[in-house]
Structure 1
Amino acid sequence: MSTAAALVGLVLAVFGARMLVTGNAPGVIARSFRTPRQAGGYHLLFGMAVLIFVVGATQLTEVAAMIATLLAVALVAIAVVYFRPGSRTRDHSE
């Protein structure tokens, strides 16, 4: 379980970093975020949060694991608030 979760976190982090470096996001993701920068930041922070959580839960002492968990939750909160998904244009005329 922890290896699979770490792999998911690593893939998300690399995917987000690639979007940040290249400035391009795949079509479905580009439509879900306002800019490729926001898409990259969102995925990078979520990936890092998963990695930090997994390492904290499996490799660290109890106190360090709690700190790692709080850091992971903070990264997710930043990702959701600052880089939240939202279409480029929203038409609420209906």
Structure 2
Amino acid sequence: MSTAAALIGLVLAVFGARMLVTGTAPGMIARSFRTPRQAGGYHLLFGTAVLVFVLGATQLTELAAMIATLVAVAMVAVAVVYFRPGSRSRDHEE
């Protein structure tokens, strides 16, 4: 389980970094976020948070694991608040 979760976190982080570097996002994701930068930041923070959580839970002592969990939750909170998905402003001409 922890290896699969770490792999998912790594894939999300790399995917987010790629969007930030290239400045483009795949179609469905581009429609869900206002800019490719927001999409990249959201995925990068979520992926890194998953990695921090998994590594903290599996590799560290209890206190360090708790701190890693709090850091991961804070990263997710930043991703949800700052880079939250939302549709781009659209002109509704009917």
Q: TM-score with structure 2 length normalisation?
A: 0.95
1:45 aligns to 2:71 (yes or no): no
1:7 match: 7
Segments ≥4 residues shifted beyond 2 Å: none
State the superposition RMSD in angstroms.
1.2
Secondary structure (helix, strand or coil) at the match of 1:64 reads: helix
Q: Percent identity?
A: 88
After superposition, the C-alpha distances for 1:14-54 in whole angstroms (9 at most, x for unaligned) are: 00000000000000000000000000000000000000000
After superposition, the C-alpha distances for 1:48-67 in whole angstroms (9 at most, x for unaligned) are: 00000000000000000000
Q: TM-score with structure 1 length normalisation?
A: 0.95
Segments of 5+ residues of structure 2 without an aligned counterpart are none
Q: In structure 2, what is the Cα distance between the partners aligned to 1:50 and 1:91? A: 37
Shift of 1:89: 1.7
Matches within 5 A, 1:39-78: 39-78=39-78
Segments of 5+ residues of structure 1 without an aligned counterpart are none
1:33 match: 33
